[in-house]
Amino acid sequence: MSLLRRFFPLLIALVLFVGILVTATGSLLIARKVIAFLILPAGAIWLLFFALIFWPGIKKGTRVVFLLIWILYSFAGSPYAGVALLRTLEAPYYEYEELAEDLDALVLLGGGTIRSPGGHPALGTHGDRVLRPAMWFHAGKVKTLITTGRSITEDGPDRLLSEETSELWQSLGVPELSIIEVSEPRNTAEEMKAVSELVEKHPEWQRIGLCSSASHLNRALKEAREQGLNLIPVPSDFRSTPLIFSPMYLIPQGRGFRDVQTALWEWLGVLL
């Protein structure tokens, strides 16, 4: 009984906290999602740190540390923080979503494909990067598509991202003769160097576009300028669409961690 009395304030705090989150949803469907997010690892860890803030017998200094950790964790996994950070990267390219003029060539940086268990190329999480250039080609806005890159982060032989993209483009009806594969580069800097060398061999290309995730374009164009390239941004894979307000998005979750890390990764790349 004494143990229950000791932890009773903590239990009350947790129940009230969860109750407020669930009640504030105003929708049974969203309420179920809130409960699910709280049960999953990211949400459960979030609740644990919240509980440690009120844990009986903890010194004030330690309690403050747990509060700071909880706030930092809340930010790191927040979909709202992720959208806000990505918007700082993507907003300059909103106006380029539609091609104003035709392009002689369009360079797509690798990274929008995955391999199925059977070894077949497929659209990945950033698959819009692969789809958009094919759409522009079929719309008659682009004459030549250039695909670059290889993967160096997976076990086994290097995956040629350029080859995977080419296969997908051809399956979407883009003629093989309209595709150029640049398979050697392993990162953005190497891709821009290889593209620079390719452009020198094609003086007939006057207007050249660069397609990648909108959040990555700032860094990619910086690398392009360092190679003497003046490329036209062709954004894709936008992820900064505003979210409705919902208690569901106050809980740290995979989407939040992914978007926050993506934005910070791109800012780090620009600064370094």
Taking the chain (272 residues) in runs of 10, the rounded mean pLDDT of each run is: 54 65 70 84 90 84 93 96 96 92 93 85 89 95 93 70 92 95 88 92 94 94 92 95 88 95 90 75
Same structural domain, 106 and 226: yes
| pLDDT digits 0-9 by tens, 35-90 | 888 889 999 899 888 888 888 888 889 999 999 999 999 999 999 999 999 999 99
235/251 Cα distance (integer angstroms)? 30
| pLDDT digits 0-9 by tens, 24-34 | 676 777 778 88
Contact, 148 vs 133, CB < 8 A? Answer: no
Cα 271 vs. chain centroid, distance in angstroms? 19
| Total domains in the fold of the chain | 2
Q: Which residues on neighbouring strands pair with residue 243, listed in sequence order? A: none
Same structural domain, 121 and 213: yes
Same structural domain, 72 and 119: no
Q: What is the CATH number of the domain that holds 229?
A: 3.40.50.620
Q: Taking Cα atoms as reference points, which of 232, 1, 229 lies closest to residue 102?
A: 232
- Which residue segment(s) compose the domain that 48 sits in? 2-88+246-271
Q: Which residues on neighbouring strands pair with residue 234, listed in sequence order? A: 211
Same structural domain, 103 and 82: no
Structure confidence at residue 51 (pLDDT)? 85
Same structural domain, 7 and 125: no
Same structural domain, 232 and 250: no
Same structural domain, 81 and 108: no
Same structural domain, 126 and 43: no
Provide the strand spans (E) within the chain.
103-108, 113-115, 121-123, 142-148, 179-182, 208-213, 232-236
Same structural domain, 102 and 207: yes
Cα 29 vs. chain centroid, distance in angstroms? 27
Residue 33 located in a structural domain: yes
Structure confidence at residue 113 (pLDDT)? 87
Structure confidence at residue 248 (pLDDT)? 86
Structure confidence at residue 269 (pLDDT)? 83
